[in-house]
Amino acid sequence: ATEHEQYQEQTPGSAALAEDLGELVPAGVCSTYRAYDPYPVHAERATGTTIHDVDGNEYLDFALNNGTQLVGHTHPTLSEATKEQIDDGTLYTRPSDLIEFAAQPLLDRWEAIEQVRFTNSGTESVMHSMRLARAATGREKIIRMEGAYHGAHDPALVSKMPPLDEAGPADDPTPIRESRGIPESVPENILLAQYNDAASVERLLRAHEDEVAGILVEPACFNLGVVEPEDGFLHRLRELADEFGAVLIFDEVKTGAKIAPGGGAEYYGVQPDLVALAKAIGGGYPVGAFGGKRELMELVAADLEKGVATGAAHYGTYNGNPLSLRAVGVTLREILTDDAYDHVTELSERLADGYRDVMADADIDGYVVTVGSQGMVYFTDERVRTFRDWEHVDEELHEAYWFGMLNRGVIPHPHDASQQWTISVQHTTDEIDAHIDSFADLATHLS
């Protein structure tokens, strides 16, 4: 049987539920990314490092909700604190000292963050960072990297991951709207550069002098697997932003508090002007944040003067809700300690070494990358350094690998080759070794 067929044999309950739910919500899911062929694993519960599905199967979870839960599921310290918070109220829409509880650790971790505001998602954090960059510069264009994901809002969906045969030349990519309903005018203010190619950014800045509000980039590109910045790339972006008066925005939704306490800025030693955060900072509660230099963030405080906007608007009923703030403070202060980062980094390296050994033994082409708690296996010997290198990735083999791992009780990472594994503070050496053993068992079928 193929891995797909075996998966279907093991998951009849998921199949039935998928069909029922498909009647109620499009594709049976609440975020379109979650739908995949033939149907997703339908969860009953998630505890510790395990997903329990509706068929009674258990999976060691290294996807951890698109890398959100560096704390793992149901972390006792976090669960206890948030249960207590539920009894004290989940929504105040008025300030409390929980703001200090959640904000201070972010200021402590990021040199660039002198002030911060809370949002409810990564999408909102990036959206507000872009608005703020535009408000501060009085310019409209944002440079972003082709093939990167920055959330579900309109401008973030320009050339997120366009079909390579429609994307035009690498040095002059065709902007592609990745959804119906995105106005034709949206790409006018989005300029596409290539990750790891500072010259492509410089060309755009020179061609659009005095028009570029911001440069938006993930410090390590985590929607092409794990693509690290080459030496000097981020430093050069810092210099270019300064030279051309553009705001350097790091989208640290996936890297923040994950690859180091202070994210990619700390790990790679480059401080942006603004940082967009979400995911790991909240330990699985819906929360995001954007922060940066005081002179920029103060623009958020300014608002309307006689009907004229003098600042950058930031509103939201659920912004900074006490439940999420409690989760952020507990996660960053009590769970993600220096020891915790050592633990996840060590285990991620152990896993990467295990993959390398198995691939060498089974003669499988590919390479493995790990950064902090994150890592990924690529089934190609051609190193991915920009979006255009994606053509080398064997997505079909990756699909067989992914389902093969599922069938052996491991969710190795979120579904598809553009993602990465996350090691949580709750994973153990034995669980890493079980992951490697499952891959060793599968590898003989893949090669």
Interface residue list for ligand PLP (CB under 6 A): 66, 121-123, 126, 149-152, 218, 223, 251, 253-254, 278
| Sign for the pseudo-dihedral over CA of 225, 226, 230, 234 | positive
The distance of closest approach from Cβ of residue 126 to ligand PLP in the complex, given in angstroms and rounded to an integer, is 5
Annotated catalytic residue 437? no
Give whichever of 7 and 62 is closer to ligand PLP, judged by the CB atom.
Answer: 62
Q: One of 39, 149, 268, 378 is an active-site residue; which one?
A: 149
CA pair distance 16, 33, nearest whole angstrom:
20
DSSP type of residue 40: P
Shortest separation between residue 85's beta carbon and ligand PLP, angstroms: 21
Closest approach, Cβ 412 to ligand PLP, in A, equals 17
Residue with tokens 């366009």: 162
Separation CA 319–CA 125 (nearest Å):
11
Shortest spacing between CB 98 and ligand PLP, in angstroms: 21
Question: Exactly one of 61, 141, 279, 378 is catalytic; which is it?
Answer: 279
Q: Which is nearer to ligand PLP, 117 or 343 (CB)?
A: 117
Pure H helices in 89-145:
98-109, 122-137
The span from the CA of 355 to the CA of 200, in Å, is: 34
- DSSP type of residue 280: G
E strands along 146-287, which residues? Answer: 190-193, 212-217, 247-251, 274-277
Contact criterion met (CB below 8 Å) for 183 and 154: yes
Catalytic residue flag (residue 251): yes
> What is the sign, positive or negative, of the torsion defined by CA atoms of 387, 388, 392, 394?
positive
Helix and strand counts by DSSP (H, E) for the chain: 14, 16
Q: Of the two residues 147 and 151, which places its CB atom closer to ligand PLP in the complex?
A: 151
Residue with the shortest CB distance to ligand PLP: 122
Q: Shortest gap between Cβ of 89 and ligand PLP (angstroms)?
A: 24
123 vs 137 by CB, closer to ligand PLP:
123
> Side-chain half-sphere of 200: how many Cα atoms within 13 Å?
18
> CB 142 → ligand PLP: shortest distance, Å?
14
Q: Which helix (H) or strand (E) holds 371?
A: strand 367-371
For residues 34 and 294, which CB has a smaller minimum distance to ligand PLP in the complex? 34
Residue whose pair of structure tokens reads 């409209």 in the numeric block: 140
279 noted as active-site residue: yes
CA 422/CA 377 separation, integer angstroms: 12
Nearer to ligand PLP, 123 or 380 (CB): 123
In sign, the C-alpha dihedral spanning 32, 36, 41, 42 is positive
User: Which residue among the candidates 197, 251, 273, 389 is catalytic per the annotation?
Assistant: 251
- Annotated catalytic residues are 149, 251, 279
